[in-house]
Amino acid sequence: MQKVIETLLIGLSTGSIYALMSLALVLVWRSTRVVNFAQAGQAMLSTYIGFEIASRSEIFWLGLVFAIAAGALVGAGVDYFFMRVLFKHATSGPAAVVAPVIATLGLLGLIRSIVGLTWGGEFKSIEAPASTDGFSVGDGTIPFSDLDVLIIATVSIILITVAYIFQRTNLGLALRASAYAPEIAQLAGIRTARTRTIGWSIAGAVGGVAGMLVTSNNFLSPYSLDLLLVFGFIAAVIGGLESMVGSVIGALVLGIGLTFILNYVGTSLVFIGGFSVLILVLLIKPDGIMAKGKARRA
């Protein structure tokens, strides 16, 4: 019984980080109809910047703030300098359909290379802002630490903030309108291009937090966020790319599920488990579990 609770708690902590990544992916998808694979790259860059600040100042939170700021800037920059140029040029021919996808993948590789060239490929670590020891309960310890609590708390705050922005502010309304019906939004006086950049900026900031949180428990390298991207993507697919709530639920479910596999079966099947879930969802309910039967806009 205790093991079940342990697994559940850790799964929650892991899943909440996935939730941030999947949220970022869904944010960008909903505002621009592009799945931004470069998200991992942006998050990586933001995390390295956060790492620099955190290791120099020895304050994790300062690093986090810088990571958020960097994420926002990089996100806005990518939309402004990259995506706009892309959509202006690649508009016809057999490759038009595939161009945005390939372009964001290329961007991922580019950012990774730049990061590698700047910081090198050795593993780096950030000092965690909270203890990573498990809680002691009775005779033994649960491998659920202060850090995990902190992670869940931070993610919850971010999720609530983003939800608030989206549902209760004019900015959020503009973002949603621009995503659902860009022309109507324009006719209502919204500067859709600028709104979109803001959307990317928010997504970038969220990604930066995800990267910092993941790294607080692990090592940082130019490849360390790839798995986060993959699981974030799987979570977003489970929830349905259209739904932010769905992607969060999907992420938690995925996190818990994978942790169960980890604890009860072994590390070997974790990735295969995740991948199988992805294939299953795509085969059975490609719109995601949250889709109320509405057609998915591809």
Contact residues: other proteins, CB under 8 A: 29, 34-35, 37, 85-86, 89-90, 93-99, 101-103, 105-110, 112-114, 116-117, 120-121, 170, 173-174, 176-177, 180-181, 183-192, 222, 226-227, 229-230, 233-234, 237, 241, 268-272, 274-275, 278-279, 282-283, 286, 298
Closest approach, Cβ 64 to other proteins, in A, equals: 26
Q: Among residues 15 and 129, whose Cβ is nearest to other proteins?
A: 15
Q: Among residues 78 and 150, whose Cβ is nearest to other proteins?
A: 78
Closest approach, Cβ 227 to other proteins, in A, equals: 7
Q: Among residues 5 and 96, whose Cβ is nearest to other proteins?
A: 96
Whole-angstrom Cα distance, residue 90 to residue 47? Answer: 31
Whole-angstrom Cα distance, residue 191 to residue 178? Answer: 9
Closest approach, Cβ 203 to other proteins, in A, equals: 15
Whole-angstrom Cα distance, residue 69 to residue 73? Answer: 6
Q: Among residues 28 and 158, whose Cβ is nearest to other proteins?
A: 28
Using DSSP bridges, classify how beta strands 134-137 and 140-145 pair: parallel, antiparallel or unpaired. antiparallel
Q: Among residues 135 and 271, whose Cβ is nearest to other proteins?
A: 271
Closest approach, Cβ 47 to other proteins, in A, equals: 17
C-alpha dihedral (7, 8, 13, 18), degrees to nearest 10 = 100
Whole-angstrom Cα distance, residue 56 to residue 242? Answer: 40
Whole-angstrom Cα distance, residue 48 to residue 134? Answer: 27
Closest approach, Cβ 105 to other proteins, in A, equals: 7
Contacts 24+ apart (CB under 8 A), 280-283: 281/234, 281/237, 281/238, 282/237
Beta bridge partners of 137: 140
Q: Among residues 149 and 227, whose Cβ is nearest to other proteins?
A: 227
To which residue do tokens 């016809």 refer?
Answer: 92
Whole-angstrom Cα distance, residue 23 to residue 46? Answer: 17
**Could you tell me the end-to-end alpha-carbon distance of the chain, in angstroms, rounded to an integer?**
43
To which residue do tokens 């941030």 refer?
Answer: 20
Closest approach, Cβ 103 to other proteins, in A, equals: 5
Closest approach, Cβ 127 to other proteins, in A, equals: 25
Q: Among residues 3 and 33, whose Cβ is nearest to other proteins?
A: 33
Q: Is 157 exposed, middle or buried (CB count within 10 Å of its CB: 0-12, 13-18, 19+)?
A: exposed
Whole-angstrom Cα distance, residue 244 to residue 249? Answer: 9
